[in-house]
Chains A and B, each alone.
Chain A
Amino acid sequence: MGHNIWKIGGFALIAYVFVMVFTVPMGPGLLELSNTGNATTQVDSDRPLPEYFLTGFGTHWSSQPDQLQVIVRSKTNLSKLEVIEVIDDTHARIGVSLPYSLPSKSWDVLINHPIDGTLLLENGLFLSDRFIDESLTLPAISIVEFEAKLPFHFPYQPRILETIRNLMLHVPMWFTMFVLMGIAFVASIKQLATARNLAEDEKSEAAVKVGLLFGFLGLITGSFWARFTWGAWWVDDPQLNGALVTVLVYSGYMVLRNSLDNAPLRARLSAVYNLFAFIILIILLMVLPRFTESLHPGKGGNPGFNSYDLDSALRAAFYPAVIGWIFIGIWMYRINLRFTRLQKLLTWTHCSQF
């Protein structure tokens, strides 16, 4: 039992991850600040106040509506907008009470509320009908800043929204594939260096088989995610090309194995091809994405994920997912290896009886 603890642990971790994926709520965020085209007349000014419509996601504005603060920011300039009316938890009418002369056209929108804390919508407000003078500074404002009082939640990310849950199912597939292909790579080197028997060849075959399974699962989960986030099952992107080509290269490895009958020759040729395949995997999934632009989340130099995007809630689900899937992958590889060996042994024993 003691040495099997990691097998049970792997499944327990994934069960925990599944529970997290389906039960943890999303945190609040800002969807958009749109111009309604209306304008209300101000009491103390002759200029009309342009009215905007602010839409939030999972926010709680109708409790304590008077505490809602809407602030716009451009570099160091901060200015408060007027909250005309809070309609419900996620909708509010905002009056853009900014002067006619401004230091910038494009502004970040910040929301502060006692429950949601501070939320940011980057470049949420764009004013094209104002006089721009970059040397202007707006008068300083006083803000009462509230800390968020929210339950345990996954972070809101623009456009990704609920599909962030796929992080726990998609990314670990590739990590597991890396580990299994790494096992196959080491086994292939050993096979070439010490060509006594075919033990290492069996290892690399089993590891590539299971690794390919995880590769296909990675492609499928990624494809579903892309359908809901980008609107297409497949898009032309360096990261996606790399993933598909890696799977194709290893499929080529399986084709090569199946086209050879002579076992020692098969072991040698497939080991040679496997070394090429692993080098290509490293180039495609680790090197090239760092030098090309990609739509894939977690960009900015890192092909897997951006460490700044991972908050504590995501870490609490993502790291167990990676460890759990790797354990399950290794267990599958060991069972596959055991099965192949037993099959060979049985064939051999059976033949030797004649």
Chain B
Amino acid sequence: MDSLLSILIQAHPLEGWFFGSGKAMVVLAIALILLIGFGLWMWRAESRLKSMEAKLKSKNQQES
């Protein structure tokens, strides 16, 4: 793996540096955190919408 990366650095400096220096892992970690954060945000948004729907429904039933 190390030899492969050193070759990559020679052939394509930018990509080789990106994958060789561990920066790819940092980007991956940030991407994963963003993805999971987005998923949790959506989950929370949906559950809050659901509870608001339920509240509104019960309120309308009480009135009628």
Which of B35, B50, B52, B59 lies in contact with A15, CB distance below 8 A? Answer: B35
Contacting pair B25 A89 (CB below 8 A): no
Q: Are B28 and A18 interface neighbours, CB within 8 A?
A: yes
Interface on chain A toward B: helix, strand, loop, or mixed SS? Answer: helix
Shortest distance between the CB of B48 and any CB in chain A (Å): 10
From 9 to 55 in chain B, residues with beta carbon under 8 angstroms from any chain A beta carbon are: 10-12, 15, 19, 24-25, 27-28, 31-32, 35-36, 39, 42-43, 45-46, 49-50, 52-53
The answer to whether A342 touches B49 (Cβ under 8 A) is yes
**Interface size band for B:** 20 to 34
- Chain A: interface size category: 20 to 34
In the assembled complex, A162 has its CB within 8 A of some CB on chain B: yes
Task: Tell me which residues across on chain A come within 8 A of B46, comparing CB atoms.
Answer: 334-335, 338
- Given contacts A18-B32, A22-B25, A342-B56, A162 and B45 within 8 Å (CB-CB): no
Q: Which A residues form the contact surface with B (CB < 8 A)?
A: 7-8, 11, 14-15, 18-19, 21-23, 25-26, 31, 55, 57-60, 88-90, 161-162, 331-332, 334-335, 338-339, 342, 345-346, 349
Which B residues have a C-beta under 8 Å from some C-beta of A? 1, 3-4, 7-8, 10-12, 15, 19, 24-25, 27-28, 31-32, 35-36, 39, 42-43, 45-46, 49-50, 52-53, 56, 59-60
14 A-B Cβ contacts within 8 A?
A: A11-B39, A15-B35, A18-B28, A19-B28, A19-B32, A22-B27, A31-B11, A57-B11, A58-B7, A60-B3, A90-B10, A332-B42, A338-B49, A339-B49
13 more CB-based (< 8 A) A-B contacts, given A60-B3, A90-B7, A90-B10: A7-B42, A11-B35, A22-B31, A25-B4, A25-B19, A31-B11, A55-B11, A58-B7, A161-B15, A162-B15, A335-B46, A339-B45, A342-B49
